[in-house]
């Protein structure tokens, strides 16, 4: 269930997506710093409207990139209630890559106006700390932000335990300035960096 808030002014119940954000310019006296006037310089509208507009922009951008890059964009909305919108990207950009490489675009409500292009490698094991550190170093050298997670589920009644490691990198893009052709450059950068990371990972 989405978190609700009670307005102290009118006692209305609202959700985070319904918040209205305002940026103010305060003009003050140069002598005593007392406020002379206050101006609303930016009105963003509700977070819900901003999210809808940005998600539509990302969807349109990916659709325009699909034909040029011979790929398929598949929206996945199982985390929409948590404020995360994901598009799974398959096709030519991942040609020649292992099957456990995942390319995706992710928009999160908490980082409005920004979309992530993310590559993730999924391994059915818990990678040691030394491996994770080496991957971070490779992505840092490429100027990309690394990401990763490790999990281990203990099973009962004789069933085998399940371990998984996810690692990769991402680059954040500004939604208002998304342009056709940008996807190819960024995805190539992510894939080439991940090839180098895999080479390092195989050595450790």
* From 35-44, 73-82, 152-161, 174-183, the region with the lowest mean pLDDT: 35-44
Dihedral sign, CA of 92, 97, 99, 102?
negative
Contact (Cβ atoms closer than 8 angstroms) between residue 188 and residue 203 = no
Average pLDDT, the chain: 87
* The predicted structure's pLDDT at residue 43: 46
pLDDT surpassing 80 at residue 125: yes
Region 182-194 average pLDDT? 97
Predicted local distance difference test score (pLDDT) of residue 189: 97
Structural domains for the chain: 4-45 (no CATH), 47-203 (3.30.1460)
Count CA atoms within 13 Å of residue 6 on its CB side: 2
Q: Considering the entire predicted model, what is its pTM?
A: 0.74
Distance between CA atoms of residues 108 and 78, nearest Å: 13
Q: How many CB atoms lie within 10 A of CB 18?
A: 15
Alpha-carbon distances of 23 from 30, 63, 66, 67, 91, rounded to whole Å: 22, 33, 37, 40, 42
Of 8-22, 38-52, 89-103, 151-165, the poorest mean pLDDT is in 38-52
Per-residue pLDDT tens over the stretch 76-104: 999 988 889 999 999 999 999 999 999 99
Nearest to 187 by CA among 202, 200, 171: 171
pLDDT tens-digit map of 23-73: 666 777 788 777 776 665 544 456 678 888 999 999 999 999 998 999 999
Q: Strand 114-123 to strand 145-153: parallel, antiparallel, or no bridges (unpaired)?
A: unpaired
Q: Using pLDDT thresholds of 50, 70 and 90, give the confidence band for residue 124.
A: very high
Strand partners, 171: 117
């Amino acid at each position: 269930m989405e978190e609700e808030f009670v307005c102290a002014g009118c006692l209305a119940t609202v959700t985070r997506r319904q918040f209205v954000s305002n940026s103010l310019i305060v003009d003050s006296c140069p002598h005593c710093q007392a406020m002379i006037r206050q101006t609303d310089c930016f009105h963003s509208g509700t977070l819900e409207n901003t999210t809808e507009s940005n998600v539509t922009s990302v969807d349109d951008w990916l659709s325009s990139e699909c034909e040029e890059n011979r790929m398929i964009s598949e929206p996945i909305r199982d985390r929409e209630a948590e404020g995360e919108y994901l598009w799974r990207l398959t096709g030519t950009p991942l040609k020649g890559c292992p099957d456990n490489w995942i390319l995706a675009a992710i928009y999160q409500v908490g980082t409005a106006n920004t979309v992530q292009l993310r590559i993730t490698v999924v391994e059915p094991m818990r990678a040691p700390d030394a491996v994770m550190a080496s991957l971070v170093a490779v992505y840092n050298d490429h100027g990309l932000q690394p990401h990763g997670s490790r999990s281990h589920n203990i099973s009962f009644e004789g069933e085998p335990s399940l371990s998984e490691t996810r690692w990769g990198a991402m680059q954040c893009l500004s939604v208002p300035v998304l342009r056709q052709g940008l996807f190819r450059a960024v995805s190539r950068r992510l894939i080439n960096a991940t090839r180098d990371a895999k080479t390092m990972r195989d050595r450790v």
